[in-house]
Amino acid sequence: MPKLIRFFKPFRVLSQFTDTQGRATLADFIDVPGVYTAGRLDYDSEGLLLLTNDGALQTRIAHPKHKLEKVYAVQVEGTPAQTTLDRLVQGVTLRDGLSRAVSAKPATEPARLPPRDPPIPARHRESSSWVTVVLDTGKNRQVRRMLAAVGHPVLRLVRLRIGPWKLDGLAPGEWKEETVHLPR
């Protein structure tokens, strides 16, 4: 029976089980043998990470050809104009090619989002805003690079959803095993 684990990856935790540099890893939170990440989330990003013991499910979740949407709440420096957010959807040229968001919209800080540890410095929080970015691809540090390219560096990035699976109900460092319903 395939296992699927929803995990709230905290800030400054690697999306792997080992590290030679002594940084926090998944092994510090999850003691379930035989599960592997289905996709990644940067060390300095937070939020939903899925793990499974099923290779086909892992591919279905992580491979770009399946176009599984990923939703991010992003705190950025400044307040992007609608024309700037539209550029993210039209496409931004990065060093590895054109990168497009499915959507990019102004937002408010997500309800029940726990404070980040360590917190964003006050001088940055006061002049920041939140946006919601939806992607159906997964290039390395894609959201961060896209927003930096349009002049709004990321202060905090939290993945809220991958396909049908949501972060809801988890605190940083918590995980829950789910019933597997393959996305269409």
Q: Specify the domain boundaries for CATH 3.30.70.580 within the chain.
A: 1-65+167-184
Q: What is the pLDDT of residue 184?
A: 52
Q: Specify the domain boundaries for CATH 3.30.70.1560 within the chain.
A: 69-162
- Mean pLDDT, the chain cut into blocks of 10 residues (184 residues total): 93 96 97 94 97 93 89 97 97 94 96 89 90 92 96 97 94 92 56
| Level-2 CATH architecture, domain 1-65+167-184 | 2-Layer Sandwich (3.30)
Q: What is the pLDDT of residue 130?
A: 97
Q: What is the pLDDT of residue 181?
A: 62
Q: Do residues 98 and 169 lie in contact, with contact meaning Cβ atoms separated by under 8 Å?
A: no
| Level-2 CATH architecture, domain 69-162 | 2-Layer Sandwich (3.30)
Cα gap 128→91, rounded to integer Å: 23
Task: Kindly list the catalytic residues.
Answer: 42
pTM: 0.94
Q: What is the pLDDT of residue 137?
A: 87
Q: What is the pLDDT of residue 123?
A: 86
Q: What is the pLDDT of residue 125?
A: 83
Cis status, amide bond into 33, omega within 30 of 0: no
Q: What is the pLDDT of residue 2?
A: 84
Cα gap 40→38, rounded to integer Å: 7
